[in-house]
Copies of this chain bind each other. A is one copy, B any other.
Amino acid sequence: MNSHLYVISPSGAVRDKAALKRGVRYLEGLGLQVEVDSGALSSHMRFAGDDASRLAALDRAIVCGADWVMLSRGGYGLTRLLQQIPFKRMAKAVARGTQFMGFSDFTSVQMALLAQTGACTWAGPSVVEGFGTVDGPDDVMESCFIDVLNHRFEGTGWLQPLEKLPSGMRHEQFHTKWLGADAAFDLKDGLVWGGNLSVLCSLVGTPYFPRVEGGILFLEDVGEHPYRVERLLTQLLHAGVLAKQQAIVMGQFSDYRLTPHDRGYNLKTATNWLRSQLKVPVVSGLPFGHVPRKVLLPVGRLADLVVQGREVLLLWGDDVE
């Protein structure tokens, strides 16, 4: 494919330089011409350089003319830069053919870019966590990634996890909304948006939160106890965001720890509580989040969501290009 891929570090400092090198080599092995930004290994406290340096790195990515911009890694550092990121220039770079890919902390830039310009990005891996592991990338993620690079990635599908009936609910009540085996619906032309739930919620009330109606909102998070996930979902609920969507799609919520105090309260409790408050369907099991096996998702593009029992298809059709 011989695409040009540019790697920047706008968030946390890269401590595991060997992993970045492994990731770059892996990407080169896929036929990519990989260029690592001059500041990619900078470090300032927990950040990959001070604010000015990280903004300069973003700027170099905007003007680099590469086909792809990927992040070395996530972490924290982008929300505090939002007032200074030139989103219009970034959108022009996207229009000229530079596609940005990332997740986690990068959710803030993806959402702000969408809110302020409507420009599209890819929700997908960073170099270190996606390609820099000793064992190499997950095969599903890699396959999605290669399809995206080749502009032949038109959709993705997954199985929802088997769910027990919520306590007290009779089988005939376990209808479409709860997405039981009989659920079947086909939603058309929903704008795909979302990402990391904590980062997304940290944008509510700011000019960086997209005003999407009829969208397909996907969410993931890491290290957040289900009660915190529920509190964040409740914010989106009370802000009127969820009811305006066609569907909420729950990705992977990983690396949290339940305690004896929870007494059976868990992520499913939180998800089912959300379902009890919403008419909009809440689909689960999307392979996306802080896990090796994740699909890539076109943020800002229109897609159809087809649900047939446990089977889910998210289809965005032909590549824009």
For the complex, give the distance between the alpha carbons of A203 and B227 in Å. 15
Would you give the 0/1 interface string for A43-64, flagging 1 where the beta carbon is closer than 8 Å to chain B? 1011100000000000000000
A196-239 residues with Cβ-Cβ distance < 8 A to B are 198-199, 201-209, 227, 230-232, 234-235, 238-239
Check: A164 CB closer than 8 A to any chain B CB.
no
For the complex, give the distance between the alpha carbons of A157 and B43 in Å. 40
CB nearest to A201 among chain B residues: B202
Question: Which residues on B sit within 8 Å (CB–CB) of A12?
Answer: 261
Of the residues B80, B204, B263, contact of A205 by C-beta under 8 Å: B204
Question: Which residues on B sit within 8 Å (CB–CB) of A201?
Answer: 201-202
Check: A148 CB closer than 8 A to any chain B CB.
no
**Does A76 lie within 8 Å of B227, measured CB to CB?**
yes
**Does A264 lie within 8 Å of B45, measured CB to CB?**
yes
Of the residues B45, B199, B204, B261, contact of A265 by C-beta under 8 Å: B45
Q: Copies of this chain, how many?
A: 2
Question: Which residues on B sit within 8 Å (CB–CB) of A135?
Answer: none
Of the residues B13, B235, B261, contact of A206 by C-beta under 8 Å: B235
| Min CB gap A100→B, angstroms | 21
Check: A172 CB closer than 8 A to any chain B CB.
no
**Does A232 lie within 8 Å of B202, measured CB to CB?**
yes
| Min CB gap A10→B, angstroms | 15
**Does A238 lie within 8 Å of B46, measured CB to CB?**
no
Q: Offer 26 A-B interface pairs, CB within 8 angstroms, sorted by A.
A: A12-B261, A45-B264, A45-B265, A45-B269, A46-B227, A46-B261, A46-B265, A47-B265, A76-B227, A80-B230, A80-B231, A80-B234, A82-B234, A82-B238, A198-B231, A199-B231, A201-B201, A202-B232, A202-B234, A202-B235, A204-B204, A204-B205, A204-B235, A205-B235, A205-B239, A208-B238
Per CB-CB distance, the 8 closest pairs between chain A and chain B, nearest first, are A206-B238, A45-B265, A205-B239, A204-B205, A205-B205, A46-B265, A76-B227, A202-B235
